[in-house]
Amino acid sequence: MTSQSDSTPSHSGRPRDPQIDMAVLEATLTVLDESGYGQLAIEEVARRAGTTKPAIYRRWSNRPRLALAALATRLGGVETPDSGCTICDLTEGLNVFVAAFRRIHPDVLSPLLADCTADSRLHDEFMTTLFDPPRAAVARMLDHAVARGDLRADLDRGLILDMLGSLVYYRALFGHAPTTESEVDHAVEALLRGIATDYPALVEHSRQLTGDPQTHNTHA
């Protein structure tokens, strides 16, 4: 991740203590969770982490990079399923990312993006840290589904990724409404009806694996 510890370690002097890095990132997440990005103060993070402001600035040159590095630890460990069931994987994968973004305080993403917008490098780091990992994970799921023959080979991959991603990102960024599992189900159904090679077959496969007779209504 480009947002993590953006300065290059010196080859001279005492090596950097990874425990301080971890303590600072954990303290940053705690402050973000409690009060949002606007109230994130380096002094408070240093106090909670048991370190100093200079020690933090040696690792992260400014407040946005510190926030991005902390958020990366929360989103970076998210894994998506690969069960061979296209409906199951897309639905569960999207729900995983919805849940991950739901853990971020509603007053974090929008003000953080505003703070990053004026600097093109910071804006790139914002996208790379927060939005690229989910997009890449969903892209892998789509590629696997195409390789299995479940999805049309001529689908517009970028457009589908934007449509699926908007379900997670739009509401996470603006915080105007929650995204429920039911809405994820409906979104996956609507998309797969248009890009699946045989949507009823995908539904039947999902039912066989989950044992749920209500999985995705096949009626038009």
pLDDT, tens digit (0-9, with 9 covering 90-100), for 172-219: 887 767 788 898 999 999 999 999 999 999 999 999 988 765 555 544
Q: 159-168, pLDDT tens digit by residue?
A: 999 988 888 8
pLDDT of 168 reads: 83
Q: Which of 1.10.10.60, 1.10.357.10, 3.30.420.250, 3.90.1010.10 is the CATH number of 18-66?
A: 1.10.10.60
Dihedral over alpha carbons 202, 204, 208, 210 (to 10 degrees): 70
Q: Where in the chain is the domain with CATH 1.10.357.10?
A: 76-210
Please identify, in words, the CATH class of the domain defined by 76-210.
mainly alpha
Prediction pTM value: 0.79
For residue 6, the model assigns a pLDDT of: 55
Domain with CATH 1.10.10.60 in the chain: 18-66
Confidence of residue 52 (pLDDT cuts 50, 70, 90): very high
- pLDDT tier for residue 147 given thresholds of 50, 70 and 90: very high
